[in-house]
Amino acid sequence: MTTSIGVMKESEPGEHRVAVVPAVVPRLRELGCDVLVENDAGTGAFLPDSAYTEVGAAPVGEAELLERADVLVCVRPPDAGRVERMRQGQVLVGLLEASADPGRVPALTRRGVDAVSLDLLPRTLSRAQSMDALTSQASIAGYKAALVAADAYGRYFPMLMTAAGTAKPAQVLVLGVGVAGLSAIGTAKRLGAQVTGYDIRPETRDEVHSMGARFLDLAGVTVADGEGGYARALSDAEREAQQEALQQRIGEFDVVITTALVPGRKPPLLVTQDALKGMRPGSVVVDIAAGPHGGNVEGSQPERSVLIADGVRLIGAGNLPSAMAPGASAAYARNITALLAHLIRDGVPRIDLTDEILAATVVSHAGQARQGGGAR
């Protein structure tokens, strides 16, 4: 039996990534799969339909894709209209953000769709690393955040000595030392800035130092890890202490990049309006946690750049991987391919809920909603 993999065109406004790139199609065919690609699915990543045809994939219309595909793959969750046109027994794989929309999983369950949400992948499981789309996309987001900040900042990032005088290096603070934060630190360092990192997890101090950056010491603000390497949620008292300590220090920096995002939860507020008012005119703040449920910076808005009254540029940049669609799609496609290689056995997708990867990521199966989500 041959399984048909259907690559969906993204329906989210401003989303330019695609779940499968031509480079991974031969590997999918080795798994015993035919590959169908919705017309123009790769256009946003500069991948025309002809690029898929050349490697043996078949571009098709939306209706044919939904009818023929056994496994549908996407980046962001498909819209409600598409879900209603899916058929019983289909498998949907993507970053489905099941906890962000309470109606999403019930809708898939009603259609009898088996849904696998990659954002629930157990990140602490070594054999799942090749499937870890959150990590691959966070690394891109951190890299791009530093470039966005440098572009918006009206002065040099590196120290430059010229005949006209010496330009001081930019002072950059990165809040959150996960994958995105470390990527932002490394990129800002390569651009020549003087970089400081901060995270409430004490072990991140060594990670910051290993990148050649300084660690921001906030007296009395230290919190142990939560599950899967993420910081646990702060108590009210801890949150107040953190904000007060940060407020006193943020004004020392020309650029602040915030990266504290935990999937399925409201982002923690790190930078208040009072802290922004303490920054020098011309400073830049990039919030890569900005989304519909808020961000790390008070007042940040998704995909909007605003100049606040005191001359500080606040950039809500919650979907930076889409701004690097070719590179982000290539990385994501490798994650999807690794997951499909795990899911498909003898040419057929098999949902084995005794498997710890699938037990954590399957949110809908056989008409039943599942909680999903192991330690991430």
Tell me which residue of 346, 372, 369, 348 sits closest to 358, measured CA to CA. 372
- Average pLDDT over every residue of 234-245: 74
Q: Residues 56, 170: one domain?
A: no
pLDDT of residue 185: 98
Q: Residues 194, 304: one domain?
A: yes
Categorize the per-residue pLDDT at 254 as very low, low, confident or very high, splitting at 50, 70 and 90.
very high
- Average pLDDT over every residue of 13-18: 96
Tell me which residue of 220, 132, 140, 207 sits closest to 176, measured CA to CA. 207
The continuous run of DSSP H or E covering 63 comes out as helix 62-68
Residue 192 has pLDDT above 80, yes or no: yes
Q: Residues 63, 111: one domain?
A: yes
Domain count, the chain: 2
Does the residue 130 lie in any domain? no
Q: Residues 290, 346: one domain?
A: no
The continuous run of DSSP H or E covering 342 comes out as helix 325-343
Does the residue 162 lie in any domain? yes
Which of 131-140, 211-220, 267-276 is most confident?
A: 131-140
Tell me which residue of 277, 278, 279, 299 sits closest to 287, measured CA to CA. 299
Q: Residues 243, 343: one domain?
A: no
Q: Are 211 and 185 in contact (CB under 8 A)?
A: yes
Residue 232 has pLDDT above 80, yes or no: no
Q: Where are the beta strands (DSSP E) in 187-227?
A: 194-198, 214-215
Q: Residues 205, 337: one domain?
A: no
Measured distance CA(249)–CA(252) in Å, rounded: 6
Categorize the per-residue pLDDT at 162 as very low, low, confident or very high, splitting at 50, 70 and 90.
confident
Helices of type H across 231-319: 236-250, 273-277
Does the residue 247 lie in any domain? yes
Measured distance CA(75)–CA(289) in Å, rounded: 18
pLDDT of residue 374: 39
Does the residue 127 lie in any domain? no
Q: Of the candidates 322, 338, 355, which is a domain's last residue?
A: 322
pLDDT in tens, 40-68: 999 999 999 999 999 999 999 999 999 99
- Mutual angle of helices 133-152 and 179-190, in 10-degree steps: 40
Long-range contacts of 125-129 (CB under 8 A, 24+ apart): 125/356, 125/357, 125/374, 127/357, 128/357
- Average pLDDT over every residue of 126-139: 95
- Strands of 304-307's sheet, edge to edge? 214-215, 194-198, 171-175, 255-258, 284-287, 313-316, 304-307
Q: Which domain holds residue 262?
A: 141-322
Report the CATH number at residue 279: 3.40.50.720
- Average pLDDT over every residue of 66-74: 97
Q: Residues 101, 145: one domain?
A: no
- Average pLDDT over every residue of 332-342: 97
Categorize the per-residue pLDDT at 218 as very low, low, confident or very high, splitting at 50, 70 and 90.
confident
Task: Burial-class residue 12 by CB neighbours within 10 Å (0-12, 13-18, 19+).
Answer: middle
Q: Residues 67, 171: one domain?
A: no
Q: Residues 274, 318: one domain?
A: yes
- Average pLDDT over every residue of 235-252: 82
| Mean pLDDT, all residues of the chain | 92
Does the residue 84 lie in any domain? yes
pLDDT of residue 96: 95
Residue 330 has pLDDT above 50, yes or no: yes
Does the residue 371 lie in any domain? no
Q: Residues 74, 193: one domain?
A: no
Q: Are 242 and 269 in contact (CB under 8 A)?
A: no
- Average pLDDT over every residue of 74-100: 94
What the block records as the tokens of 2 is 């041959």
What the block records as the tokens of 348 is 């057929």
Q: Residues 179, 37: one domain?
A: no
Does the residue 131 lie in any domain? no
Q: Where are the beta strands (DSSP E) in the chain?
A: 3-7, 33-38, 58-60, 71-73, 91-94, 114-117, 160-162, 165-167, 171-175, 194-198, 214-215, 255-258, 284-287, 304-307, 313-316, 344-345, 348-349, 362-365, 368-369
Q: Residues 261, 315: one domain?
A: yes
Does the residue 269 lie in any domain? yes
